[in-house]
């Protein structure tokens, strides 16, 4: 009992001294005591910023995929599309930017993935399984291949489909989005 009284006395002494010496105000909530400092008469609190759709400022980026590994590039693109590269990231809001990928046909796959990796499509009918190798996909359908890889890294559901609509992939070097004035984005791969 004496130890508990002594502990309460020390705690009150600490709070009183912090008010007098540091100019801080104690903030008590059930179960914990927090000291909030005062700067210039304004109480400073740390809190998580939850961005709203009305506060969003989206940018357009162009990424050149030539000579870069597919998976590493796709993960960086997924970060930009979801907005996880911004300090205002909010999980339940589509706060990412638009991404234009050019030269999707010149992306690289490491190892023996060109021959070993398979892409499957099923039509839900008996015998309706279609199997393509990564080499076939890269030669004939590079846009679909790139979109499927990025889609695998995005959240599934309504928000994921909304995020996915901000991705534009093109085989060649040209794109029709010059009016949006996209910035070149260098990715770390």
Q: What is the pLDDT of residues 51-80, one digit of tens each?
A: 888 889 999 999 999 999 999 999 999 999
| pTM of the complete model beyond 0.95 | no
Structure token pair of residue 67: 């000579």
Taking residues 42-53, report their average pLDDT.
Answer: 74
pLDDT the model gives residue 62: 98
pLDDT the model gives residue 48: 78
CA distance readout (Å), 121 to 127, 135, 169: 11, 16, 21
Q: How far apart are CA 15 and CA 30, in angstroms?
A: 16
Q: Is residue 126 classed as helix, strand or coil in its secondary structure? A: coil
Pure H helices in the chain: 2-17, 70-82, 113-116, 134-140, 142-151, 158-164
pLDDT exceeds cutoff 70 at 38: no
- Give the chain's length: 189
- Average pLDDT score, the chain: 86
Which tops the pLDDT comparison, 64 or 32?
64
Reported as a pLDDT band with limits 50, 70 and 90, residue 132 is very high
Q: Is residue 119 classed as helix, strand or coil in its secondary structure? A: strand
pLDDT the model gives residue 49: 80
Taking residues 156-175, report their average pLDDT.
Answer: 97
């Amino acid at each position: 009992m004496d130890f508990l009284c002594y502990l309460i006395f020390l705690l009150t002494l600490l709070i009183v001294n912090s008010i007098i010496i540091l100019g801080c105000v104690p903030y008590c909530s059930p179960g914990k005591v927090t000291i909030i400092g005062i700067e210039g008469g304004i109480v400073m609190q740390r809190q998580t910023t939850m961005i709203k759709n009305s506060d969003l400022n989206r940018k357009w980026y162009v990424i050149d995929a030539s000579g870069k590994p597919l998976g590493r590039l796709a993960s960086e693109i997924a970060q930009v599309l979801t907005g996880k590269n911004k300090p205002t990231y909010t999980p339940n809001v589509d706060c990412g930017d638009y991404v234009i990928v050019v030269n999707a046909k010149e992306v690289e796959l490491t190892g023996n993935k060109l021959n070993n990796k398979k892409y499957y499509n099923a039509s839900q009918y008996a015998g309706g399984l279609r199997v393509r190798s990564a080499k076939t996909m890269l030669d004939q359908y590079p846009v679909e291949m790139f979109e499927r890889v990025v889609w695998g890294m995005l959240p599934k559901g309504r928000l994921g489909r909304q995020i996915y609509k901000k991705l534009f992939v093109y085989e060649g070097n040209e794109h029709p989005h010059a009016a949006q004035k996209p910035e070149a984005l260098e990715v770390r791969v």
